[in-house]
Amino acid sequence: MDFDPPTYSIAFGVTSWLKLVGIIGAVAIGIGVIAAFLRNGASGGKAFGTGFVSFFKDLLAMSPRRVIAMARLTVIEALRRKALLVFVVFAVLLMFGGWFLTDSNDREDLQVSVHITFMLTTISWLILPVVMFLSCWSLPEDIRIRSLHTVVTKPVRRVEVVMGRILGFSTMATAILLLMGIVGYIWIQRQVSPPENPGDPGRLTCRVPAYGNLFFLDSQSLPKNAGINVGDPWMYRSFVEGNSRARAVWIFRDVTPDRMGDQLNLESRFEAFRTVKGAEDTINEGIEAQYTLVRNMREDAFAAFGVGASFRPAAESMREGNFQNAANLLSDAATRMGSSQSDFPPVDCQQVSIACMQVEYVLTELGDDFKEVVDAFVLFGQKAGLVESDNDASYQNLSTACETLAEVLRTRGEDLMESMPRIEVPLESFRVSEFHEGDNVNAYPRKLSYAADYEATARFLAEVTTEWNDQGKLVDGAELSPGLADDLTGSAGISAENADLLVEVLQEQIDAEGLTITDGKLTIADNSRWLQYFMTLVREEKLISRDPAGWVLEADLFDDLASNGMLRIDVACMNEQMFLGMARPDLFIRLKDNSFLQGYSKALLNIGLMLSLVIVLGVTASCVVKGPVSFFFTLTVFVIGQFFHELMLRIVGGAEEGGGLVESAMLIYQHRNPSTGLDASENTQQMVATLDSGVVGVLNVASNIIPDFSIFSDSAAYIENGFDVPWNSSVLPAILTFVGFLIPCIIIGAACLKFRELESK
pLDDT value of position 588: 93
pLDDT value of position 4: 65
pLDDT value of position 519: 81
3-class secondary structure, 238: strand
- Distance between CA 669 and CA 672 in Å, rounded? 8
- Distance between CA 629 and CA 637 in Å, rounded? 12
Helix, strand, coil tally for the chain in percent (to 5): 60, 15, 25
Q: Which amino acid is at 296?
A: N
- Distance between CA 69 and CA 168 in Å, rounded? 9
589-648 pLDDT, tens digit each: 999 888 889 999 999 999 999 999 999 999 988 888 888 889 899 999 999 999 888 888
- Distance between CA 204 and CA 185 in Å, rounded? 11
pLDDT value of position 198: 44
pLDDT value of position 613: 94
Distances (CA, A) of 430 to 572, 675, 678: 11, 44, 52
Residue 6 has φ and ψ, to the nearest 5°, of: -80, 150
Q: What is the number of other CB atoms lying within 10 angstroms of the CB of residue 373?
A: 22
Residue closest to 618 by CA, chosen among 172, 148, 134: 134
pLDDT value of position 21: 80
pLDDT value of position 761: 44
CA 440 from centroid of its chain's CA atoms: 20
**In which element (H, E) is residue 479 found?**
strand 479-480
441-493 pLDDT, tens digit each: 889 999 998 888 888 899 888 898 888 888 888 888 888 888 888 888 888 88
**In which element (H, E) is residue 571 found?**
strand 567-573
pTM for this structure? 0.80
Question: Which ranges of the chain have pLDDT less than 50?
Answer: 1, 104-105, 152-153, 197-200, 760-761
pLDDT value of position 148: 58
Give the Cα-Cα-Cα angle 643, 645, 650 (nearest 5 degrees): 120
Q: What is the end-to-end Cα distance of the chain in Å, rounded?
A: 49
Q: What is the SS3 string spanning 639-697?
A: HHHHHHHHHHHHHHHCCCCCCCHHHHHHHHHHCCCCCCCCCCCHHHHHHHHHHHHHHHH
Q: How many residues does the chain have?
A: 761
